[in-house]
Amino acid sequence: MTGSALPHLLRPRALRPGDLVVIAALSGPLPAAYEPNVEQTVTVLERMGFRVRRAPLLDVGRRRWWSAATPAEIAGELNGLLRDPEVRAIVASDGGQTVLGYLDLIDVEAVKADPKPILGYSDISLLHLVLYAHTGLVGFHADMAVPGFGGHWQSAPAARRAELEKLYSRLLTDTEAIGALPASPSWECWRPGRVEGRLIGGVINRIVLAQATPYALPLERFDGAVLFWEELGGLASYVWSYLQVLRHSGILDRIAGMVVGVPHDISGLEPGASPDLREIVLDVLGDRDIPVLGNVEIGHAGPNLPMPVGIRVGLDAQQRTLSLLEPAVGPHARTGPS
């Protein structure tokens, strides 16, 4: 594949008020303690104007090892949702450690036939990367039920919650570009510069794992891209190592810019520790002169700003701005009378 052979961008169809959104266990199980988070998510999505249903595997206490079910069962349910014309969007309940087990079981033709927004981060990053690689689907690296809509959103200030609700609603329903994402004081310019490019990314360990499978993004897909990533847990040295993998693979030589999420629960990155995340990133980048915007709310530190994988963005690290230059969704699905 050459740089000129990038696949057509496959935008999910825009949602209308009253459309059905399904919350599904695409990875980990639902412990009883988090059932209220799912109920809160239903409330948030209904307030945005959607009907909401839970998929059957999203059942308190249901589990198989560290997963909600076997990979084949989860893939079967996901494929059913992808094929169901009534389902207009899928929201992951949580992340976990399961998506690698069913990358080879996803009904890619169903995705192409009826593209739908899939929302989630962490382990769900793998779905976004693989479906973007093989269908061009815009994936929504965005909040999900347990840690997001029903978690971080509930403890956020009311004004921030209202701002995010409006943003997510526009993201799913508006076929016009959203423009600048709402910035916050945490954003930092780690290396100045201004670029435009397609958003590609997710949790960094999943980017590395995805590239080790047959479902990897061709390296050419990173040409001129704005790479976004975040990480949860582990050690600061792990982050350095993942970045080194991206360097060795040639990805860091191809990208035009980088957006780094607020690190969450990473040992060795406590306030005042050395090195800090900025030092780690700039150490691996070396003399690659690309803009880097740090400490952006994407991923586990939440509430999340949505990152639609595949969409062109404008990044100005010095001005600390990140703008969505294209809509994340396309024309509405053609359906009969409701």
Same domain, 141 and 216: no
Residue 329 included in any domain: no
Contact, 113 vs 135, CB < 8 A?
Answer: no
Contact, 41 vs 23, CB < 8 A?
Answer: yes
Same domain, 185 and 285: yes
pLDDT at 308: 98
- The domain in which residue 247 lies consists of 179-324
Residue 41 included in any domain: yes
Q: Say what percent of the chain tops pLDDT 70.
A: 96
Domain boundary among 173, 191, 220: 173
What are the φ and ψ backbone dihedral angles of 20, each rounded to 5 degrees? -90, 125
Same domain, 217 and 286: yes
Total count of domains within the chain? 2
pLDDT over threshold 70, residue 227: yes
Q: Which residue has the tokens 């479906």?
A: 131
Contact, 22 vs 65, CB < 8 A?
Answer: no
User: Is 323 an annotated catalytic residue?
Assistant: no
Residue 277 included in any domain: yes
pLDDT over threshold 60, residue 223: yes
pLDDT digits (tens, 9 = 90+) for 115-170: 999 999 999 999 999 999 999 999 999 999 999 999 999 999 999 999 999 999 99
Same domain, 123 and 140: yes
Same domain, 46 and 67: yes
Mean pLDDT, rounded, for 36-44: 97
The active-site residue, picked from 67, 93, 122, 125, is 122
Same domain, 165 and 186: no
Residue 338 included in any domain: no
Domain boundary among 173, 197, 228: 173
Same domain, 241 and 125: no
Confidence of residue 337 (pLDDT cuts 50, 70, 90): very low
Sign of CA dihedral 76, 82, 87, 91: positive
pLDDT at 301: 84
pLDDT at 237: 97
Confidence of residue 272 (pLDDT cuts 50, 70, 90): confident
Same domain, 148 and 216: no
pLDDT over threshold 90, residue 332: no
Residue 314 included in any domain: yes
The active-site residue, picked from 77, 125, 230, 297, is 230
Q: What is the CATH number of the domain that holds 50?
A: 3.40.50.10740
What is the C-alpha to C-alpha distance for residues 188 and 194, in angstroms, rounded to an integer? Answer: 14
Residue 152 included in any domain: yes
Residue 46 included in any domain: yes
Domain boundary among 119, 140, 173: 173
pLDDT digits (tens, 9 = 90+) for 286-326: 999 999 999 999 989 889 999 999 999 999 999 999 999 99
**Which residues make Cβ contacts (< 8 Å) with residue 138, sequence separation at least 6?**
9, 10, 11, 12, 115, 117, 132, 308, 309, 310, 311, 328, 329
pLDDT at 334: 58
pLDDT digits (tens, 9 = 90+) for 305-316: 999 999 999 999
The active-site residue, picked from 128, 141, 152, 300, is 300
User: Is 67 an annotated catalytic residue?
Assistant: no
Q: What is the CATH number of the domain that holds 319?
A: 3.50.30.60
> In the 3-class helix/strand/coil scheme, how is the chain assigned residue by residue?
CCHHHCCCCECCECCCCCCEEEEECCCCCCCHHHHHHHHHHHHHHHHCCCEEEECCCCCCCCCECCECCCHHHHHHHHHHHHHCCCEEEEEECCCCCCHHHHHHHCCHHHHHHCCCCEEECHHHHHHHHHHHHHHCECEEECCCHHHHHHHHHHHCCHHHHHHHHHHHHHHHHCCCCCEECCCCCCCEEEECCEEEEEEEEEEHHHHHHHCCCCCCCCHHHHCCCEEEEECECCEHHHHHHHHHHHHHCCHHHHCCEEEEECCECCECCCCCCCCCHHHHHHHHHCCCCCCEEEEECCCCCCCCCCEEECCEEEEECCCCEEEECCCCCECCCCCCCC
Same domain, 130 and 7: yes
Same domain, 192 and 294: yes
User: Is 300 an annotated catalytic residue?
Assistant: yes
Hey, what long-range contacts does 101-106 have (CB within 8 A, 24 or more apart)? 101/67, 101/70, 101/71, 101/74, 102/71, 102/72, 102/74, 102/75, 102/78, 103/130, 103/213, 103/215, 104/215, 105/71, 105/72, 105/75, 105/76, 105/79, 106/75, 106/78, 106/79, 106/82, 106/130, 106/131
pLDDT at 306: 97
Residue 158 included in any domain: yes
Same domain, 23 and 137: yes
Same domain, 235 and 283: yes
pLDDT digits (tens, 9 = 90+) for 143-155: 999 999 999 999 9
Confidence of residue 1 (pLDDT cuts 50, 70, 90): very low
pLDDT over threshold 60, residue 3: no
